[in-house]
Amino acid sequence: MKKHVLLSTGIVLLFGLSACDSNTAPQQLSTKAKLELPVGMTKINSVQKADDEIVIPFTQYELANGLTVVLHSDKSDPLAHVDITYHVGSGREEPGKSGFAHFFEHMMFQGSENVADEQHFGLITESGGTLNGSTNTDRTNYYETVPSNQLERMLWLEADRMGFFLDAVTVEKFENQRETVKNERGQNYDNRPYGLLRERVNEALFPQGHPYSWLTIGYIEDLNRADLNDLKKFFLRWYGPNNATLTIGGDFDEQQTLEWVNKYFGGIPRGPEVVDPEYVDVVLPEDRYISMQDNVSLPLMYMAFPTVYANHPDEAPLDVLMSILGSGKTSLLYKNMVKNGKAVQAQAGHSCGELSCQFSLLALPTPNSSLAELETIARTSLVEFESRGGANEDDLARVKAGIVSGMVYGLESVSGKVSQLAAYQTYRQNPNAIGDDIARYQNVSKEDVMRVYQQYIKNKHAVIMSIVPKGQADKIIKPDTWQRLERTFTQEQDESALVLRPGKSDFDRSVVPPSGPNPSIKVPDIYQVSTTNKIAILGAVNDEVPTTTIHLRIPAGQTREDLSQLGLAALTAAMMGEGTEQNSAEDLSNELQKLGSSVDFRAGNKYTTLRIRTLTKNLEPTLAIALEKLTQPKFTQDDFSRLQKQQIEGLKTAKKNASSLAAEAFNKLAFGHNNSFAYSSGGTIETVEKLNLDDVKAFYKANYGPAKSELLVVSNLSELSMLSALQNLNSWQGNTSAEPAIKAFPALAAGTLYFIDKPEAAQSEIRIGKRALNYDATGEYYRVDLMNYNLGGAFNSRINLNLREDKGYTYGARSFFYGDDIYGFYKAQAGVRSDTTADSIVQFRKEISEFAANGMTDVELQFMKNAIGQRDAREYETPGQKLSFLSEIMEYQLTRSFVDEQNQILSKISKEELNALAKKHLKLDEMITVVVGDKAAIMESLQPLFKNIVEIDEEGKPL
């Protein structure tokens, strides 16, 4: 289940940014009182933590031009996060101009009057930061996370594109980003299985001309129709400071930050006044059945009911209803569809925006079920909800526990807290709305849930969509009762206020602000012990949030599989998530949800990992459930048969994904069909079909033991307290198999093109590469990663600037080295527009060969050293990041000082050494090429580029 809401992607995340800020001390209040506000700046509000109140502390200001400024202090890590949110998304677009809000987001990264083309990416990357932007129906935001000494530069960058953008726009930039957006649509929608689901449903659900009737990505024909004048009008209409919220979080001096904000943003004039969009009730006069044929392996059934709008009083009880119907193993859809083998997947959703929400039921059938049968079961499940009396106490407890745990988990990153403050201000004009959110969910009653069911769902009309494999039109639920409308474009907005608004400055904006002193970066302290049954434990204390995250790595991954049993590790891991000898899977899921905890198993190359996440106060019962799952799996035939079918259908679906096909084909060619890790973790359809329950039991018995297992933990508990909590692990018994031998890798047929035909593909997936070095933290492997950074490792690398920014062939292109203790490879890759496949390969070759021959420049060398040298400031912020650090140490038997050794190598490495590595490792005549694309459309253009072309099937075998 995923709930798409205005403020986040789930009920849990909706409340993920709250609670106590341990860095807000009483003495800070007196400091804040002494702040001298710049002229024209007004303080609006200030909220601090009081007792156990759940709140994100902040101070809110407003500039004379209407810009809202929200500051959140968090000095736990030496970083700053900047978010500027404009209250405009695709919901403000005119009919016929769909996709423009998102297109404009791309344009805002193309430079401004005082920031050169690509300089925005360059400055932030070089400073060790990360950046991006996003657009949804109702807002567009731009954000950066950087070391704290770079904050002034971020404010200068954001202010320059807010106030000094239009004069830097060129036709060339406009056309380039138009092509980039088209590639994004091709990659994420047109070329992806089920990618057009929401577009078709929204067209049928909303009235013609309603701005939610099209997707944020827009239609290709609308993008083709747009011109430079449209872009300028859009900027002038929506990108004024009075339609924006600037939110800053992290380690900063508040007085200095306010002065910088006023300096860089104060001279930007107000834009036209903006009013909130008006909600119009959406009502369907009848059920609308629609369908489409797609390049999928499994049909899909989707039902969508219009409901309310985001922040409506009935949104919360509708979310609870969603959870009861289709969230996890406690849900009615799981019981009535998945548990009994009728569906591979079934879930409910309640996606919300400012103008409307939709309540959805989704299911993918197993081969012995039909879409029509699933629709009947879905409707029967609604009746069952009512007949059983609606919501029960467990239902409410699960949802409310998820809210509380989500609030605490959200404290783990400053970017999350900043995003939440920005969203609350944008949609509710109050950054402190989290208390209202908590209350509206905690106050939901059983009567509320039944009421909204009867008001919005029972006997109400819906859009019912069937997506079926191509050539299988007979599998749709019913013949279409609604046809796509011919879109008309008559609406025009008032443009009388759209006049140029030149900004004012009393300083030279062309001067890039200097960086402040480098912040002090501290690698996390760690402790290392072992249990009496020989589980190695590596831990770190994270006292910023009261949470515990544990990864128990068991040497029971793909490498333990026989080639005839590929997929067995993944299937066993899935079985570990089912019932135990004591409790059913549903009962355990219910208890975990009421604790706000998660326990799951996941198989990888070498390990199956038991992952545990919980509020520390609930650690004991959560660990008890995890240990029960680990040591007492029930392994029933019914569970096995159901999960086996699901895994097979997942493999079939993956074969429809060009990116997955390309990745697996490359791995098999590089590392051999006789090494299990070269295959998808799910195995192959043929091998999984032959597995049985005894195979799972035997794999568990042979591999699920404590010896050679490793436990990584990040918690606010001390070492002694954590070890005490883990003591029950000493009772775990079991076997561990011997480390398997890796088979010899095959000879590469260098220079060969391996081609997989994907008829009518809108894009081609390209992989160019070879085997390379295994992992070495401070050896040549680390150095080749430094070497590749300017070639293909950064957004503004040579490869990406060429294929994306200059040519507009792709949404993104990169190259990288990857290695572990088993294998390593170098790969350059991209998904490109189909008609550019041949030239994309030419451009890849050109960049790689030129870099190998001539190496990097002095400027590139310094850029790489600056970028990598400063990014440690944001490497250890969250428990997840700390776990990654611990994992690297444990996996490769490192000490925490390896980071210092890497920094010494970085500071001393010369251009000559790196260029020598480029010559050594970037030899095109040692590489193979894999392409997945439409043979009929592109093969003729590829033939001149290769002396040897081998067509292969979806399993990577020659045809």
Distance CA 414, CA 23 (A): 12
The closest of 362, 263, 252 to 303, measured between CA atoms, is 362
The arithmetic mean of pLDDT across residues 602-610, rounded, is 97
| Predicted local distance difference test score (pLDDT) of residue 493 | 57
Two tokens, residue 350? 């309640």
Q: Percent of the chain at pLDDT above 90?
A: 82
26: helix, strand or coil:
helix
Return mean pLDDT, the chain. Answer: 92
pLDDT at 583 over 70: yes
Q: Are 412 and 879 in contact (CB under 8 A)?
A: yes
| Predicted local distance difference test score (pLDDT) of residue 712 | 98
Q: State pLDDT tens for residues 204-219.
A: 999 999 999 999 999 9
Same fold for the domain at 40-47+55-265 and the one at 753-951? yes
Instruction: Identify the DSSP state of 855.
Output: -
The arithmetic mean of pLDDT across residues 524-536, rounded, is 94
- Write down the CATH number for the domain with range 40-47+55-265: 3.30.830.10
Comparing 55 with 324, which gets the higher pLDDT?
324
Characterize the bridge pairing of strands 463-469 and 288-294: parallel
Distance CA 238, CA 576 (A): 52
| Predicted local distance difference test score (pLDDT) of residue 520 | 81
Q: State pLDDT tens for residues 460-517.
A: 999 999 999 999 999 999 999 999 988 766 555 556 557 788 888 889 999 999 998 8
Side by side, the strands of the sheet bearing 68-73 are 42-47, 58-62, 68-73, 244-250, 79-86, 140-147, 130-135
230: helix, strand or coil:
helix
| Predicted local distance difference test score (pLDDT) of residue 24 | 34
| Predicted local distance difference test score (pLDDT) of residue 502 | 81
Distance CA 412, CA 837 (A): 42
Phi, psi of 532 (to 5 degrees): -70, -25
Two tokens, residue 802? 């060429």
Distance CA 56, CA 642 (A): 44
| Predicted local distance difference test score (pLDDT) of residue 154 | 97
222: exposed, middle or buried (Cβ count in 10 Å: 0-12, 13-18, 19+): buried
CA quadruple 677, 683, 684, 687: dihedral positive or negative? positive
Two tokens, residue 889? 């140490």
Comparing 402 with 508, which gets the higher pLDDT?
508
pLDDT at 348 over 70: yes
DSSP sequence for 271-306: -S---PPPP-----SS-EEEEEEES-SS-EEEEEEE
pLDDT at 544 over 90: no
Q: What is the topology classification, in CATH, of domain 288-475?
A: Cytochrome Bc1 Complex; Chain A, domain 1 (3.30.830)
Indicate the pLDDT class of residue 278, thresholds 50, 70 and 90.
confident
pLDDT at 15 over 60: no
Q: Look at phi and psi of residue 752 and say left if phi exceeds 0, alpha if psi is from -120 to 50, else beta.
A: beta
Domain ranges of the chain: 40-47+55-265, 288-475, 527-731, 753-951
- Between helix 898-908 and helix 780-788 the angle, nearest 10°, is 50
Q: Give the count of beta carbons closer than 10 Å to the beta carbon of residue 699.
A: 24
Q: State pLDDT tens for residues 722-760.
A: 999 999 999 999 999 998 999 999 999 999 999 999 998
Radius of gyration of the chain (CA): 28
The arithmetic mean of pLDDT across residues 63-74, rounded, is 97
The arithmetic mean of pLDDT across residues 588-592, rounded, is 96
pLDDT at 10 over 60: no
The closest of 388, 319, 398 to 359, measured between CA atoms, is 319
| CA 361 to each of CA 210, 372, 462, 532, 723: distance values in angstroms, whole numbers, following the listed order | 23, 14, 10, 49, 44
pLDDT at 9 over 50: no
Q: State pLDDT tens for residues 352-383.
A: 999 999 999 999 999 989 999 999 999 999 99
Q: Which residues contact 433 (CB under 8 A, 6 or more apart)?
A: 424
Within 795-854, residue ranges assigned H as helices are: 798-800, 837-854
pLDDT at 141 over 80: yes
pLDDT at 543 over 90: no
| Predicted local distance difference test score (pLDDT) of residue 277 | 86
Buried b (16+ CB within 10 A) or exposed e, 397-406: ebbbbbbbbb
Number of residues that this document lists for the chain: 959
Q: Percent of the chain at pLDDT above 70?
A: 96
| Predicted local distance difference test score (pLDDT) of residue 33 | 53
- CATH architecture label of 753-951: 2-Layer Sandwich (3.30)
| CA 614 to each of CA 8, 401, 545, 596, 860: distance values in angstroms, whole numbers, following the listed order | 20, 11, 11, 7, 44
Indicate the pLDDT class of residue 946, thresholds 50, 70 and 90.
very high
Q: State pLDDT tens for residues 213-255.
A: 999 999 999 999 889 998 899 999 999 999 999 999 999 999 9
Q: State pLDDT tens for residues 888-932.
A: 999 999 999 999 999 999 999 999 999 999 999 999 999 999 999
Distance CA 401, CA 421 (A): 22
Q: Which residue has the tokens 């259908």?
A: 649
Q: State pLDDT tens for residues 145-156.
A: 999 999 999 999
Q: Are 496 and 669 in contact (CB under 8 A)?
A: no
Side by side, the strands of the sheet bearing 608-615 are 527-530, 536-541, 710-715, 547-554, 608-615, 598-603
Candidates 1.20.1260.10, 3.30.830.10, 3.30.497.10, 2.40.10.120; CATH matching 527-731: 3.30.830.10
Phi, psi of 78 (to 5 degrees): -80, 60
Q: Are 914 and 786 in contact (CB under 8 A)?
A: yes
Q: State pLDDT tens for residues 156-197.
A: 999 999 999 998 999 999 999 999 999 999 889 988 889 999
Q: Which residues contact 638 (CB under 8 A, 6 or more apart)?
A: none
| Predicted local distance difference test score (pLDDT) of residue 494 | 58
Two tokens, residue 159? 């202010």
Q: State pLDDT tens for residues 797-856.
A: 999 999 999 999 999 999 999 999 999 999 999 999 999 999 999 999 999 999 999 999
Distance CA 342, CA 334 (A): 10
Q: Are 441 and 399 in contact (CB under 8 A)?
A: yes
Distance CA 214, CA 485 (A): 12
Q: Which residues contact 524 (CB under 8 A, 6 or more apart)?
A: 540, 542, 876, 882, 885, 896
Two tokens, residue 876? 């250890």
pLDDT at 778 over 70: yes
The arithmetic mean of pLDDT across residues 574-600, rounded, is 96
| Predicted local distance difference test score (pLDDT) of residue 439 | 87
pLDDT at 881 over 70: yes
Distance CA 178, CA 184 (A): 10
> In the chain, helix, strand, coil percent, each to 5?
45, 20, 35
DSSP sequence for 391-447: --HHHHHHHHHHHHHHHHHGGG-HHHHHHHHHHHHHHHS-TTTHHHHHHHHHT--HH
Determine which helix (DSSP H) or strand (DSSP E) holds 79, and give its type and residue range. strand 79-86
| Predicted local distance difference test score (pLDDT) of residue 762 | 86
15: exposed, middle or buried (Cβ count in 10 Å: 0-12, 13-18, 19+): buried
pLDDT at 6 over 80: no
The arithmetic mean of pLDDT across residues 391-406, rounded, is 87
> Distance from first CA to last CA of the chain, Å, rounded?
40
Q: Are 888 and 553 in contact (CB under 8 A)?
A: no
